[in-house]
Amino acid sequence: MEKKNNPESIGENEFLRLVYEVQQGDPAAMEKLLDMFESDMRLLSKYIPMPEEDALQSMKLEFITLIKNKVLDQKGSSDEEE
């Protein structure tokens, strides 16, 4: 049985390292981040008025876009200056 990653089970530094690696083009880091949040996305997709798989795909796409395009400062908040 595959062990699922829990977003609460890694520290902030590890999370920020994964975000940095994604921004540098590491697909394995993106997959790890998606795996960490997939159970939450699946739960939330039940409350979106569209087919569950479509809702899940939309959330994943927005998550990927957010991670790839936002710059995080030391505290992990997004830098809104563009």
Residue pointed to by tokens 């395009």: 69
Residue 78, phi then psi, degrees to nearest 5: -75, 145
Check whether 82 has a pLDDT greater than 50: no
- Considering only CA atoms, which of 65, 62, 67 is closest in space to residue 22? 67
pLDDT tens digits along 5-28: 555 578 899 999 999 999 999 999
Cα gap 81→58, rounded to integer Å:
25
DSSP H stretches of helix in the chain: 12-23, 27-45, 52-69
pLDDT tens digits along 27-59: 999 999 999 999 999 999 999 999 999 999 999
Contact in structure between 19 and 8 (CB atoms under 8 Å):
no
